[in-house]
A and B are shown apart, each in its own frame.
Chain A
Amino acid sequence: DAGVTQSPTHLIKTRGQQVTLRCSPKSGHDTVSWYQQALGQGPQFIFQYYEEEERQRGNFPDRFSGHQFPNYSSELNVNALLLGDSALYLCASSFSIGQGTPQETQYFGPGTRLLVL
């Protein structure tokens, strides 16, 4: 049983460019959350997708957007990249018992390390 997978593992972009990160959830999971982990810090919640819709969002600008596909995989898009967007981007998947009810444990992928030059 494959766990949460993310691609690519590493990425280098320049300021102003756009980037798309991908995540495949653990088998049986229908909910995907994205986190940004800057160097030396804990992960910060970006947003969560359930039933192909953004269910909850953290304190991140609109430059950060996402999408969830019918197969539950997800993409994180970041436009107009800034130097400060350099970080490890983590995807976590879980199973939602029902919309708005507590979920099961979130399982994290290995992350995509983004460097913005």
Chain B
Amino acid sequence: AQSVTQLGSHVSVSEGALVLLRCNYSSSVPPYLFWYVQYPNQGLQLLLKYTSAATLVKGINGFEAEFKKSETSFHLTKPSAHMSDAAEYFCAVSLDNNDMRFGAGTRLTVKP
């Protein structure tokens, strides 16, 4: 069965610094991979989605993620953190979008 593991439940960066949130997946076949963001007391908002069209996926708010099959990874990056990026980030995997499996989440803190 497919699953994802998010490395690091908490990540803290300074404003303007690189953001790197790690996600490794487990799947027997090429999966769909997602990154979602959740602000306090809100639902999930899609940041980006990998569907095998391109290994480097660009999303909203300056985020991007690279699919690396050899490393079974789909890490999320942003070159320069902004205070508004502080939130909970979830990586998810699905084989057919019917059953999405989410990671435990990574809380991003941005220090001024």
A48 touches B (CB below 8 Å)? yes
Q: Which residue of B lies closest to A109 (CB)?
A: B43
B99–A43 touching, CB < 8 Å: no
Chain B positions within 8 Å of A107 at CB level: 46
- A110-B42 in contact given A94-B97, A103-B98 (Cβ < 8 Å): yes
Which of B44, B46, B100, B105 is A41 in contact with, Cβ under 8 Å? B105
Chain A: how many interface residues by the 8 Å CB criterion? Answer: 28
Chain B positions within 8 Å of A33 at CB level: 98, 100
B102–A43 touching, CB < 8 Å: yes
Q: How far is the CA of A37 from the CA of B64 in the complex (A)?
A: 25
Chain B positions within 8 Å of A35 at CB level: 100, 102
B22 touches A (CB below 8 Å)? no
- A56-B99 in contact given A4-B43, A108-B45 (Cβ < 8 Å): yes
Interface string of A76-117 (1 = CB under 8 A from B): 000000000000001010100000111111111111000000
For residue A5, give the distance in angstroms from its CB to the closest CB of chain B.
10
Max chain B Cβ within 10 angstroms of own Cβ: one of A55, A94, A103: A103
For residue A3, give the distance in angstroms from its CB to the closest CB of chain B.
9
Which of A42, A105, A109 is B103 in contact with, Cβ under 8 Å? A42
Which of B36, B49, B96, B99 is A45 in contact with, Cβ under 8 Å? B99
A58 touches B (CB below 8 Å)? yes
A65 touches B (CB below 8 Å)? no
For residue A27, give the distance in angstroms from its CB to the closest CB of chain B.
17
- Contacting residues of chain B (85-112) with chain A, CB-CB under 8 angstroms: 90, 92, 96-105
A7 touches B (CB below 8 Å)? no
Chain A positions within 8 Å of B43 at CB level: 4, 90, 108-111
The 7 closest A-B pairs by CB, nearest first: A42-B102, A108-B43, A103-B97, A108-B44, A110-B43, A56-B98, A43-B102
Cross-chain pairs A/B with CB under 8 angstroms, 25 sampled: A35-B100, A35-B102, A42-B102, A42-B105, A43-B100, A43-B102, A45-B99, A45-B101, A48-B98, A55-B98, A56-B99, A58-B99, A90-B44, A101-B96, A102-B32, A103-B96, A103-B97, A105-B34, A105-B49, A106-B100, A107-B46, A108-B36, A108-B43, A110-B41, A110-B43
